[in-house]
Amino acid sequence: MKKVLILGAGIYQVPLIRAAKNAGLYTIVSSIPGDWPGFAEADQIYCVNTTDKEGILQIAREEKIDGICTTGTDVAAATIGYVNEKLGLHGLSEASAARTSDKTIMQETFHRGNVSSAAYIRADSPQEAMEAAEKIGYPVVVKCVDSSGSRGITAVHRPEDIEQAFAEALAHSRKDYVIVEEKLAGVEIGVDGLIQDGKLVFLAPHHKIVCKRFNKTITAGHSFPYHGSDALLAEIEKQIRTAIEAMGFDNSAFNSDAFVDGDHVSIIEIGGRAGATCIPELITHCFGFNYYEQILRLAFGQPVELPGEKATVPCMAKLIMSPVDGFITKLDREGFEELRRDGVDLSMDFAIGHAVDSMINGSQRIGQFIVPTQDEEELNLIERRVNRCIYVNGKTLDELWQQEELQK
């Protein structure tokens, strides 16, 4: 029986662990200690931090693993690269993983490789950030170089806000510098895909579903397939191919954030793993092949199995979130069943009695739902039905969100 080491035991790794078991693999999962749902699914667990390179390497050696991977998170990339290098395994290489670990290194890699991306300057102090912003021209984005989930990232329109943005970036960083970038115009999209032996073998751009709260833009879901002109689709592919080559990705899934302005495409970032927020589920649904299986195949050095040209099935996913802190006090199971009968693929992260946090970013998710449509209005109607089935502190999520809307 082949053994796979999956890094992370959170809600985004659960379907990868399940796919591995379905494929007949022995699953070993490591994560920091905690009540993680992935621990309950695995054949064998270790409570080792996924950023602890030596600790994870030791597990990999002792267990004689055949492959290592993750999905939906950037934090484990450097460790995966390290283990692959030391044990001569397939998957993400150490050098390419290192280029994803710091946004200044990634930008340097993009610019050297002629990838279309934002102008940038590294800044070691608020004064340098101020000078960088003057040079680039306002508005700029002041960014933490080594975080994720939009933590420590602030759009700045005036010099008087630079200092605060610099402090915010450092507060989320293990580094003592930040990156100042030109603020790109246009619409943000996501791009996911698969790379085998350095070649792009699958490409799926997608629309982001965002919501605004407390002046922050939060990615709350995605919509597949992407609709754009042939010229735009060709430019997305060109920039992604250039970025993959510059980064040196060889055998992994990737997830990229990009901006589209007319037919112009700029890459913000690219990581050597599949996206979170239901992206693998949506690709599976839209293109008709199991995406998690392909992630595993790449980690084992097996050829990916892609379907031929087939019609795509439109679909969207959105996270379920709460506008208040509290507890889940009731779930309307009949309502859930009705939604499922209407083709909604809904799953909750928590049961009745579990605590929930007010939405700040995607980490406060309490569940997700996937709808076979690309009509935003239909999605919103389904979302209200979903929210009417979930009670927090005795009120439905729908009531709570309506209340917040009224207070604005």
Ligand X SMILES: Nc1ncnc2c1ncn2[C@@H]1O[C@H](COP(=O)(O)OP(=O)(O)O)[C@@H](O)[C@H]1O
Per rule CB under 6 A, is residue 192 in the interface with ligand X?
Answer: no
Residue 13: what residue type? Answer: Q
**Cα separation, 229 vs 262, whole angstroms:** 10
What is the C-alpha separation between 185 and 30, in angstroms, rounded?
A: 40
| 146 interacts with ligand X by CB under 6 A | no
Q: Mark residue 92 as left, alpha or beta (left: phi above 0; alpha: psi -120 to 50; beta: remaining).
A: beta
CB 344, CB 388: distance < 8 Å: no
141 binds, among Mg ion, ligand X, none (CB under 5 to 8 A by kind): ligand X
Side chain identity, residue 30: S
Which residue stretch of 126-134, 150-158, 244-252, 390-398 sits at the interface with ligand X (rule: CB under 6 A)? 150-158
Among 41, 257, 293, 383, binds ligand X (CB under 6 A): 257
107 makes contact with ligand X (CB under 6 A): no
CB hemisphere CA count around 379 (13 angstroms)? 22
Distance CA 107, CA 195 (A): 21
Q: Are 189 and 268 in contact (CB under 8 A)?
A: no
What's the chain's length in residues? 408
The least distance separating ligand X from the CB of residue 105, rounded to whole angstroms, comes to: 13
**31 lies in the site for ligand X, by CB under 6 A:** no
Q: Which is nearer to ligand X, 117 or 284 (CB)?
A: 117
Q: Does 293 interact with ligand X (rule: CB under 6 A)?
A: no
Phi, psi for 363 (deg, rounded to 5) = -70, -20
The least distance separating Mg ion from the CB of residue 74, rounded to whole angstroms, comes to 9
- CA–CA distance, 208 with 218 (Å, rounded to integer): 10
SS3 372: coil
CA angle (350, 17, 106) in 5-degree steps: 95
Q: How far is the CB of 269 from Mg ion (least distance, A)?
A: 5
- Residue number with CB closer to Mg ion (257 or 383): 257
Asked if 306 contacts 200 with a C-beta cutoff of 8 angstroms, the reply is no
Establish if 149 lies at the interface with ligand X (CB under 6 A). Answer: yes
Question: Quick one: tokens of 107?
Answer: 């930008």
Out of 21, 175, 183, 264, the only residue in the binding site for ligand X (CB under 6 A) is 183
Q: Does 213 bind ligand X (CB under 6 A)?
A: no
Nearest to 298 by CA among 201, 191, 195: 195
Residues lying near Mg ion in the complex (CB under 5 A) are found at 257
Compute the least distance from the CB of residue 109 to Mg ion, in Å. 16
Per-residue contact string for residues 260-289; x = within reach of ligand X by CB under 6 A = --------xx--------------------
CB-nearer residue toward ligand X: 261 or 378 = 261
| Nearer to ligand X among residue 41 and residue 235 (C-beta) | 235
Residue 188 contacts which entry, ligand X, Mg ion, none (Cβ below 5-8 A, type-dependent):
ligand X
Helix ranges (DSSP H) in 44-156 = 53-63, 77-87, 94-99, 103-112, 126-136
What 3-state DSSP class applies to 366?
coil
Q: Quick one: which of 63, 188, 245, 263 contacts ligand X (CB under 6 A)?
A: 188
Give the nearest distance from C-beta 121 to Mg ion in angstroms.
Answer: 20
Span from 6-14, 139-147, 194-202, 393-401 in contact with ligand X (CB under 6 A): 139-147
Residue 118 binds to ligand X (criterion: CB under 6 A): yes
- Assess contact for 142 and 130: CB atoms under 8 A: no
The SS3 assignment for 8 reads coil
The least CB distance from residue 10 to ligand X, in Å, is: 17
Binder among 27, 71, 93, 150 for ligand X (CB under 6 A): 150
Among 178, 184, 283, 316, binds ligand X (CB under 6 A): 184
Q: What residues make contact with ligand X under the rule CB under 6 A?
A: 118, 141, 143, 147-151, 153, 181-184, 188, 217, 257, 268-269
